[in-house]
Amino acid sequence: MVSDLVPISRTFLSSAEFQQLADVPPELEWLANITNLKTRRAYKIDVEEFSAFTGITTPVELRSVARAHVIAWRKSLEARNLTPASIRRKLSALSSLYDYLCERNAVLGNPVDGVKRPAVNGNEGSTPALGDAQARRLLEAPPPDTLKGVRDRAILATLLYHGIRREELCLLRLRDVQSRLGVMHLRVKGKRDKVRYIPLHPMASRLIGEYLQLVKHGGGQHDNLDEALFRPVKNNRTGMLNKHLDPGSIYKNIVAKYGRETGINIEVNGLCVHSMRATAATNALSNEADIAKVQEWLGHANVSTTRLYDRRKSKPEDSPTFHVKYDGKGS
């Protein structure tokens, strides 16, 4: 990567280092310029997959790609029965690369432009949201008399009342729970390192407070405000507890665990951590929150993404199903 070529200990470049950076292909610059690690990893895999399909072995060869190559790749993805969303993402990764190459005048045009992408449901997102009763059951599922249970209640409340992503939750530090204009807020660092401040819901505030008190009484220290807000309750491998939670554990050890225990995983097909975010957004919109405010609250770059959570026009109780009546004699 480009960053690996620059020495950290010096504030200037040698002539050799200058020339090295000048020779970095724009294809590698594009990847290094993606700040979100998750996006960078996914896009890197997608472009490597395309390169393997076309037989490309060096970054410079990507400049010879034509639209026909992209169409052939799309057909191969369809033949693998990938979901429309996965195919669209892979094509978006490739398109992002060629947009950058166009900006750098490395290619004359973007070969992905004009390649038909699979249609997606633009009216409603595919992530399932919980109903009010289901959300309450999930919140009450962790035992209130254990450290893990108290922590997990605080985590579920933070997700369900604020709509933050699991990666954002895992990165929260003690100092990120702070007062602004007399109101407690969460300082959330989202995609592209954008920071947003979310007022802390009273229920979540109470549960977080109970968790922190329990940790403190159990010997935990709160002197360093840069420490993780939510920590492991045990670590069989290293014994180290003063660290951020792994995002994967939020699903495996919290959402999936209590989903099974309450039976919600059977009621809600595809229950996942993102369902907590979908539930919060859907609930806020259903209770007349302004969609522009919800967009800002969720950290969406485009309001069209927020609209995927707007299910006010598809409430089950408004369906014609419940207006069908067979009141005549006989059946």
Q: Which amino acid is at 129?
A: A
May I ask the CATH architecture of the domain 132-316?
A: Orthogonal Bundle (1.10)
Write out the two tokens for 227.
């420490």
Distance (Å, whole) CA 36 – CA 246: 17
Is residue 245 pLDDT above 80, yes or no?
Answer: yes
Distance (Å, whole) CA 158 – CA 149: 14
Residue 176, pLDDT score: 96
Nearest partner of 126 among 287, 268, 286, 291, judged by Cα? 268
Strands 183-189 and 177-180: antiparallel
Question: 233 vs 276, which has greater pLDDT?
Answer: 276
Residue 198, pLDDT score: 95
Write out the two tokens for 270.
């595809």
Is residue 84 pLDDT above 90, yes or no?
Answer: no
**Confidence band, pLDDT 50/70/90 cuts, at residue 39:** confident
pTM: 0.70
**Confidence band, pLDDT 50/70/90 cuts, at residue 321:** confident
Is residue 160 pLDDT above 80, yes or no?
Answer: yes
Integer angstrom CA distances of residue 97 from 46, 49, 61, 172, 311: 11, 14, 13, 32, 34
Give the CA-trace dihedral at 19, 21, 22, 27, to 10 degrees.
Answer: 150
Overall average pLDDT of the 94-100 stretch: 91
- Residues 6 or more apart whose CB falls under 8 angstroms from that of 229 comprise 172, 173, 174, 176, 177, 208
Is residue 3 pLDDT above 50, yes or no?
Answer: no
Backbone phi, psi, residue 227, to 5°: -70, 160
Nearest partner of 100 among 44, 30, 37, judged by Cα? 30
**Confidence band, pLDDT 50/70/90 cuts, at residue 136:** very high
| pLDDT > 90 fraction of the chain, expressed in percent and rounded | 54
Backbone phi, psi, residue 217, to 5°: -70, -20
Domain boundaries, the chain: 2-103, 132-316
Residue 243, pLDDT score: 87
Distance (Å, whole) CA 39 – CA 192: 10
pLDDT tens-digit map of 162-194: 999 999 999 999 999 999 999 999 999 988 788
Q: Identify the sign of the CA torsion 61, 63, 66, 72.
A: positive
Residue 1, pLDDT score: 42
**Confidence band, pLDDT 50/70/90 cuts, at residue 331:** very low
What letter does residue 251 receive in the DSSP assignment? I
Distance (Å, whole) CA 182 – CA 56: 58
Per DSSP, the three-state class of 228 is strand
Cβ-based neighbour number of residue 276 at 10 Å: 31
Contact 286, 132 (CB under 8 A): no
Is residue 330 pLDDT above 60, yes or no?
Answer: no
Distance (Å, whole) CA 282 – CA 125: 10
pLDDT tens-digit map of 99-132: 989 988 888 999 999 899 887 655 556 788 999 9
Distance (Å, whole) CA 329 – CA 114: 59
Distance (Å, whole) CA 293 – CA 299: 10
Per DSSP, the three-state class of 223 is coil
Distance (Å, whole) CA 166 – CA 154: 13
Mean pLDDT score of the chain: 86
Cβ-based neighbour number of residue 144 at 10 Å: 10
Is residue 216 pLDDT above 90, yes or no?
Answer: no
Distance (Å, whole) CA 49 – CA 37: 18
Overall average pLDDT of the 275-301 stretch: 92
